[in-house]
Amino acid sequence: MRLAKGYKRKLNQHFSIHIAENYKKEEFQEILALNVKVHGESVSDYFKHIFLNHPRKEDILFLYIKDSNSNKIVSSISLWPLEWRIGSINVLVCEMGFVGTLEKYRGKELIVELNNLYERIMAEKGYIISVIRGIPYYYRKLGYEFAIPLDHRMFLSPSMIPQDDLEFLKIRKANLDDIDLIANKYNQYYENFFISNLFDKNCYISKFFNDNYNAFKTSTYLIETGGKTIAYFTFGKSYDNLAYDIKTSDINREYGIKILQFTKEITSIENPDQINLAVREDTDLAELIGELGGTTNNTYGWQVKIPNLKLYLEKIKYILENRIFNSNFQGLTQDLRLSNYKTTIILSFKNGKISIVKMEKGYPKEGSCDLQIPGSLLFKLILGDMSFEEINHIIKDAMIIHKSREIIDVLFPKENLYPDTYY
């Protein structure tokens, strides 16, 4: 049976598994009630927006399990479609959201069943990577790993923000007439990152063009001088609602100070002594905050799963071939074996091109692989989050054959990553 809205299947005599339909009011209300009970009343408006109004609502899927005896929905997850740019390649990604099970039904592996259906949908619809902004540790049991930066928290005292007279810089809220200008500046900025969220006009407006802001919706502002727009920034709250989340286009020091002065004015009532900021650590704004005396609080990451490594490596093979072409290994003819100790991926290079990607199941024979990194930690290397040396420093059964070290470093360098979500 095709995995589409309206799908249902009996799991056993106690439970059935479903994909919600679009316009079934009773079903919607019951999934909403479950999520409010699990996550709190604060998710109600967010859930309604995603289910009813999001620009990609036709592609969004809500999966749930129903108790056959009570005929009540007791566990659910959702699949949110995204498209990320990895290098020069557009890759279909899905985000798992609204994960929850009623307390009485926890420990029955219902999320595992929902995840199995979720990954079948991924395979059928061509999603290559799944990500989640979830609670720590739990999702490791489903094969996820913290493999991409999500946010970087910094504290800054308002007194440290310079009082420079920057009246020649004006800030105004963006409107729909500005969307093409923002798209151009967005694309220019994110070209500097190996992984980023592909600009989608309707989704961007839905997420970032809001009069009010919270953890789920954001406002966008323009910085202008002499009537000309020179930069933009978004202003909202972090996913956990604890910090002010700011994303910018390319900015210089003056623009950064102007943004911080704006932030100080907004946040002074809430906390006059300290501003809690969520910014990306490898950005000009974070560098400025550090220069002004801001301190790092903590960081968090996207939890990532690549269910089919072969499919991912086939998708990015042009990137791998290009890295070989621009290295000392131009014309490489060799099989490279990469293992996570459960599966070995063989990249067969002929004259610098990948002729085939193969998979072998099972624990590898000693000395048979060029690279071995346990389980989902391998994602950190192949996505560019960490170098092999950094992974090996953390975990000692990350291993590499000496003669292959330079090739692996060429194929999988550490990169700047800045993906995002429209949810």
Q: How far is Cα 380 from Cα 378, in angstroms, rounded to an integer?
A: 5
pLDDT value, residue 271: 77
Residue with structure tokens 């002004």?
292
The band of 263, judged by pLDDT with boundaries at 50, 70 and 90, is: very high
Helix axes 201-208, 179-190, angle to 10 degrees: 100
In the chain, pLDDT over 70 holds for what percent of residues? 100
The band of 75, judged by pLDDT with boundaries at 50, 70 and 90, is: very high
Whether the CB-CB separation of 200 and 92 falls below 8 Å is answered with no
pLDDT value, residue 282: 86
Architecture, CATH, for domain 308-415: 2-Layer Sandwich (3.30)
> How many angstroms separate the Cα of 402 from the Cα of each of 57, 326, 341, 371, 378?
50, 21, 18, 10, 18
Same fold, 8-132 and 152-302: yes
Nearest 5°: CA angle at 262, between 261 and 267? 95
What does the domain layout of the chain look like in residue ranges? 8-132, 152-302, 308-415
pLDDT value, residue 19: 98
Q: How far is Cα 220 from Cα 211, in angstroms, rounded to an integer?
A: 9
> How many angstroms separate the Cα of 235 from the Cα of each of 29, 198, 278?
31, 19, 10
The band of 269, judged by pLDDT with boundaries at 50, 70 and 90, is: confident
Question: What integer best gives the mean pLDDT of the chain?
Answer: 97
pLDDT, tens digit (0-9, with 9 covering 90-100), for 84-130? 999 999 999 999 999 999 999 999 999 999 999 999 999 999 999 99
Mean pLDDT confidence for 361-374: 96
Q: How far is Cα 76 from Cα 63, in angstroms, rounded to an integer?
A: 6
- The CATH superfamily label for domain 8-132 reads Gcn5-related N-acetyltransferase (GNAT) (3.40.630.30)
Q: How far is Cα 278 from Cα 154, in angstroms, rounded to an integer?
A: 7
Fold of 152-302: Aminopeptidase (3.40.630)
pLDDT value, residue 219: 98
pLDDT, tens digit (0-9, with 9 covering 90-100), for 326-366? 999 999 999 999 999 999 999 999 999 999 999 999 999 99
Q: What is the pTM of this model?
A: 0.95
pLDDT, tens digit (0-9, with 9 covering 90-100), for 127-179? 999 999 999 999 999 999 999 999 899 999 999 999 999 999 999 999 999 99
